[in-house]
Structure 1
Amino acid sequence: MSRQFIFSCLLSMAAIQFCQAQAVPISKPVHFNNKDSIRFGGTLTLPAGRHTFPAVVLLSGTGKQDRDGTMAGHKMFKTLADSLAALGVAVLRTDDRGVGETNGVYETATTKDFANDALAAVAFLRTQPGVAAIGFIGHSEGGAAAIIAAAGNRDIAFVITLAGLATRGLDALKLQNRAIINAAPISDYDKNRHNTITTLMFDTAYRYAYTPLMEARLRAAYAAWKHADDSAYAKDKPGEFDHMRFFADSYIRQATGPWYQYHLRYDPAPFLQQIKVPFLALNGDKDMMVPYKENLDMIKNTLQQSGNNQVTVKVIPGLNHLFLHCNTCTNEEISQLKGDFAPEAWQEIKHWLQPFL
């Protein structure tokens, strides 16, 4: 049965009987709590015609998302859930904190909190009949949450990351910023200015993270750069109006928040070193948010050096951060692209999961 014709049945006695007769996956709304009293609302999709089956928890990337993983109109997680259930894998996907049927405040949570949310989802799945093994599929920051949650955890049978963040947070910010600026339609002169100020602010924020000096040091660093840059611009381009702006106040508000400071100091190596289960890492080669080489190299090398040789990394040509075929491959065009998840990326997941079925 092709993926286009797969659908999930709402849970009722009549629906269950129909779905069982038609061998169609069944979806049901679920709720569970974590240890911090966050109540999660989500959807559990169960494969048809199986008494036992593997299960996955889908972990979303940065930004508040619903259980379908809706981003710029694309429903990555809904597509994955339907495809995985048709393959024979149960899928749990939830609304993020502060979205839909999940309470809590997303803006004050860190990647470590999201990893703990993932473990609460695992604990819920362990109570469900038929679940034989549990794994993670994490997209972007969800990949980092999967890495943190899977570290040394015997309840996790496998990990899949989709453009998963696997470099140090500071390095990730610099790589992402450089890729976005270099793709921008501005002069090389202004690209250099943008790269200079953002790198300075990133390094200053990293140095003073978790200290009361952070805001003052960021403001001082920006003021010093602004004074020097204005003088250089006046000298290099006399009489020209300067359109470039770095929004220092908004950056400082973000940088002094709990999520950003955890992200800055995030180091995946100690977590990766504790993962001894099969690991699949996929990236598109057009991804500007999580560049494939640095992240896939980190996953492969760290796992193998720690004695885990059950690691597969794949670069998929032509795909952006959302695993969509792209043209300019900038963030601005994402809403104009077609599809929800590239079929060749799904085929990689499907093939890799066969031993668990």
Structure 2
Amino acid sequence: MLLVYLLCCLSALHATAQQSPFRSDSVLFFNRDSSIRFGATLTVPSQRKNFPAVVLVSGTGKQNRDGLMAGHAMFRVLADSLVRIGFAVLRTDDRGVGATTGVYETATTADFAADALDAADWLRKQPGVGAVGLIGHSEGGAAAIIAAATGKIDFVVTLAGLATRGIDALKLQNQAIINAAPVSDYDKRRHQTITTLMFDTAYRYAYTNLMESKLRTTYNAWKHSDDSAYAKDMPGKYDHMRFFIDSYILQASSAWYQFHLRYDPVPYLERIRVPFLAVNGDKDIMVPWRENLDLVARTLRENGNKVVTVKVLQGLNHLFLRCHSCTNEELSKLPGDFDTTAWEVIKQWLLEYVSAQ
């Protein structure tokens, strides 16, 4: 009886394995000069001999291969969904995370674009892989745009992808965050004034040795004027507002920040001729949909790209979750990992423009 039971169990396990629509393997590969080893997960549809494939490209902040942000594993869910419609998926740990070596803090968006190209090159060499595209979230969308401009990528999907000039993105993001903050309109105007002054100064003096001194001069002039105005407007009241100048100078002096300030997507978008889908949520305060989608659509179409789709989705935030207050503080409290409405848009577009290739 025991032998029969064991045989039945083994048979059931074999049947389950046979029915699995995909296989998932941990893999290691190196970039082109072997300076960085990437740890990744490759998910492949097991019931197809040939299939398109995608590399998932993460946004700002050190993330693991699951794309874990505020408790939401966006990339793990996307990989599972993509493989079930016949796509292979490669998702890596970011530099300095998990099994990936390198230093994240010293890298720029251009470096992340190079990482995406290296991942795509490796993926293209795997058995059965045909067309290879990129799906980039947030800053990963900018990296995908930079990478696709090389002509080495077959299709692009950006999810809340950064597609405005970096300086404009900072101002738009800052304005949205300030508007959503629980402070008075008076203080909102003060925050808006100093941050705009600092962004403009950092932009002007990026990549020069004058950055720190010019930022301090700008801050000191504003502080003197603001203190005088506050004393006149709010006599006798304690001023709670702070702008942390030393922290900002440290951030603004980094290679990543200076590249971001001077980033302009237009020269890259002008060279992209492959199918392109850009999706944003209308409640996103990190990458506002209108300015980003409008620039993508206009630039791509004016420069001869024939397959361009842009889509704004109602009620979704930066992580493509349904939100209520739609602030960053709410992110960890929201259920789910990726909204099904957003996935349906991506799925239908891929099935129409990529699977048929």
Q: Does TM, normalized by the shorter one, top 0.5? A: yes
Corresponding letter in the other structure for 1:329: C
Asked if residue 313 in structure 1 is aligned to residue 310 in structure 2, the reply is yes
Asked if residue 258 in structure 1 is aligned to residue 259 in structure 2, the reply is no
Specify the SS of the correspondent of 1:345: helix
How do 1:270-281 and structure 2 match up within 5 A? 270-281=267-278
Question: C-alpha distance in 2, partners of 1:277/1:339?
Answer: 32
**Does the 8 Å CA contact 1:19/1:25 hold for their aligned counterparts?**
no
Question: C-alpha distance in 2, partners of 1:333/1:219?
Answer: 34
How much identity, in percent, do the aligned residues show? 69
Specify the SS of the correspondent of 2:214: helix
Specify the SS of the correspondent of 2:84: helix
Specify the SS of the correspondent of 1:137: strand
Partner of 2:29: 32
Cα-to-partner distance string for 1:269-326 (whole Å, 9 max, x where unaligned): 0000000001000000000000000000010000011011210000000000000000
Partner of 2:7: none
Question: C-alpha distance in 2, partners of 1:208/1:19?
Answer: 61
Partner of 2:167: 170
Task: From the superposition, tell whether residues 20 and 264 of structure 1 become closer, same or farther in structure 2 (CA, over 3 Å).
Answer: same
Asked if residue 300 in structure 1 is aligned to residue 323 in structure 2, the reply is no
Specify the SS of the correspondent of 1:254: helix
Specify the SS of the correspondent of 1:42: strand
**Does the 8 Å CA contact 1:58/1:91 hold for their aligned counterparts?**
yes
Corresponding letter in the other structure for 2:163: A
**Does the 8 Å CA contact 1:19/1:48 hold for their aligned counterparts?**
no
Question: C-alpha distance in 2, partners of 1:255/1:156?
Answer: 32
Partner of 1:152: 150
Corresponding letter in the other structure for 2:315: G
Question: C-alpha distance in 2, partners of 1:273/1:145?
Answer: 15
Partner of 1:209: 206
Question: C-alpha distance in 2, partners of 1:181/1:248?
Answer: 18
Question: C-alpha distance in 1, partners of 2:155/2:121?
Answer: 16
**Does the 8 Å CA contact 1:59/1:143 hold for their aligned counterparts?**
yes
Asked if residue 88 in structure 1 is aligned to residue 56 in structure 2, the reply is no
Partner of 2:6: none
Partner of 1:284: 281
Corresponding letter in the other structure for 2:169: A
Partner of 2:330: 333
Equivalent of 1:70, from 68, 71, 85?
A: 68
C-alpha RMSD of the superposition? 1.4
Cα-to-partner distance string for 1:71-118 (whole Å, 9 max, x where unaligned): 010000000000000110000000000000001110000000000000
**Does the 8 Å CA contact 1:20/1:48 hold for their aligned counterparts?**
no
CA shift, 1:25, in A, is 1.1
Partner of 2:45: 47
**Does the 8 Å CA contact 1:287/1:319 hold for their aligned counterparts?**
yes
CA shift, 1:152, in A, is 3.4
How do 1:121-160 and structure 2 match up within 5 A? 121-153=119-151, 155-160=152-157
Specify the SS of the correspondent of 1:325: coil
Decide which moves more: 179-188 or 16-25. 16-25
Question: C-alpha distance in 2, partners of 1:122/1:233?
Answer: 55
Task: From the superposition, tell whether residues 128 and 19 of structure 1 become closer, same or farther in structure 2 (CA, over 3 Å).
Answer: farther
Partner of 1:56: 54
How do 1:223-234 and structure 2 match up within 5 A? 223-234=220-231
**Does the 8 Å CA contact 1:140/1:165 hold for their aligned counterparts?**
yes
Equivalent of 2:191, from 179, 190, 194?
A: 194
Specify the SS of the correspondent of 1:87: coil
Task: From the superposition, tell whether residues 19 and 172 of structure 1 become closer, same or farther in structure 2 (CA, over 3 Å).
Answer: farther
Question: C-alpha distance in 2, partners of 1:21/1:334?
Answer: 39
Question: C-alpha distance in 2, partners of 1:354/1:166?
Answer: 24
Cα-to-partner distance string for 1:244-271 (whole Å, 9 max, x where unaligned): 0001100110000000000000000000
Question: C-alpha distance in 2, partners of 1:46/1:218?
Answer: 50
The structure with the larger Rg is: 2
Corresponding letter in the other structure for 2:106: T
Question: C-alpha distance in 2, partners of 1:325/1:164?
Answer: 18
User: How many pairs were matched up?
Assistant: 343
Task: From the superposition, tell whether residues 166 and 175 of structure 1 become closer, same or farther in structure 2 (CA, over 3 Å).
Answer: same
Corresponding letter in the other structure for 1:74: H
Question: C-alpha distance in 1, partners of 2:311/2:329?
Answer: 26
CA shift, 1:19, in A, is 6.5
**Does the 8 Å CA contact 1:158/1:277 hold for their aligned counterparts?**
yes
Partner of 1:115: 113
Question: C-alpha distance in 2, partners of 1:120/1:17?
Answer: 36
Question: C-alpha distance in 1, partners of 2:164/2:21?
Answer: 40
Task: From the superposition, tell whether residues 255 and 275 of structure 1 become closer, same or farther in structure 2 (CA, over 3 Å).
Answer: same
